[in-house]
Chain A
Amino acid sequence: MAATCREFRNYIPRAILGDLSQEEQKALDQHLAECSPCNREHQTFGNTVRQLGSGLDVPVPRHFFVYPEESHSTPWRAFLRMSRAWQAATATVLLVFGFASLLAVSRLQVRSEDGALVIGFGRLPERRPPAPQIMQVDSSALEAKILKAAAERSRQDNLEFLRTLRAEMARSNKAIGREQRALLEQAISNVELRMGQLVSTTAYDLERKTDRSVQDAYRKVSLERARDMAAVDNRIKLLAINGEVKSTQTDAILATLLQVAELRMQ
């Protein structure tokens, strides 16, 4: 091979990857036009790169989703990792706090008074005497009743119920006083708010539970599958090393094991 050819041979792969300067490319083109061995070499490299670039990806055998690791973040695990002294201290603080909040909640009073919401601990200030009214409406009893009804129905039913209630209210517009109407409206919006919270907490809980069970099932299956695959691989390596079984037999064993693994995934 001539000295010039040797130099151009280095250009060839670079040319195919577009990694030559204009001058180098021009010189190579000129050489390829008059040197058939280098031209063949150029084609061979072209062939190689085309084969490498024609790879179609195979589909994934399964999905590779990840799930949050419980071991990293649950408060209970964190508690278990603490020293005895810290555990005792934390438990005491939590107990005191828990007791205090229980006390607070049990003495917490919420009352809606003439369209305003009154919240306080223990005894609330005395209620102002109600203004003379055309019709007697016990708003807290109404609220409780509505709440109870609302809780018993599904979400759609609840909305329908509220809609009917509003319509009813609009119809009896003239029958009740302005303050009473405000009171009723307040009660209804309270119900709506609580219902919304109830629905979203329930949805969240439900979602979390489903998620957890799907995760558990998935983890179990993939663990089993990983074990199967590890067993298969070990078996193959052993067979390959010892040469104790003929290749047709190893294929049969492999096929069966793979089928078992695939079946478990379904």
Chain B
Amino acid sequence: MLLDQGLRGSLSPDRDMESDWVAASQRGDNRAFNQLVLKWEKPIYNLTLRMLHDPGEAEDTTQEVFLAAFRNIRRFRKDSRFSTWLYRIAVNHCLSRLRRRPQGVHLSLDADRPEERIASRLPLQESHEGEILSEERQSRVRAALQFLQPDHKAVLELKFFQDLTFEEIAAVIEAPVSTIKSRLYAGLEVMRYRLGAFESDI
């Protein structure tokens, strides 16, 4: 798409660029904001995908997250990082969606189907044996995550998939580091029983 190419052409991973984009977005410039979207859509979409375990819902939620961020960008203060603020919006959207779900639905619905849907949407690549193994593992990990309490899942997501530090997670969740750690270890305990028996094949 033309629009796509135009935006990508001026994309740069520079943090300074990011603060420029934020400043322009705060003046209502949606093009500048869309640069931020390009930079962050992949991690945010994958966060919602792992949190919600449903590609359609993840897609809707990701769009909601960016819309909410754009509408409230004037409230974003420069003393924190943009990513922290964005992660907070994303996590809150996911948690409120998970809370709205009827109890136990995320476990009782056919757990394999969403994975098939993701796999079917992945671009076709040469199917190396390693990639198939990796896809299997990913699918196992995503399925295992669904056994966690939403609060715990959010912390695990930020720690292991988004690579945030305890302090950064505490800033996203707006809870003390001690709370973050206790959720993380509780969640990890569940993961250990779901995944510990499998080799990490790395």
Contact = CB atoms under 8 A, between A and B. Distances in A.
A19 B188 contact: no
B75 interface: no
A239 to B, nearest CB: 10
For the residues of A in contact with B, the DSSP-based class is helix
Interface stretch (B16-24, B49-57, B91-99): B49-57
Contacts of B141: 51-52, 54-55
B137 interface: yes
A61 B55 contact: yes
Contacts of B132: none
Interface residues of A, number: 45
- Chain B interface, >50% SS class: helix
Given A13-B185, A55-B160, A64 B45 contact: yes
Nearest to A12: B192
B34 interface: yes
B184 A51 contact: no
A14 to B, nearest CB: 7
Contacts of B66: 64-66
B191 interface: yes
Interface in B37-73: 37-38, 41-46, 49-50, 54-57, 59-60, 62-63, 65-67, 70
Given A13-B192, A57-B42, 6 more contacts: A13-B188, A51-B195, A51-B198, A55-B160, A60-B62, A61-B59
Interface of B: 3-4, 28, 30, 33-34, 37-38, 41-46, 49-50, 54-57, 59-60, 62-63, 65-67, 70, 109-110, 113, 116-118, 120-123, 134, 137-138, 140-141, 156, 159-161, 166, 181, 184-185, 188-189, 191-192, 195-200, 202
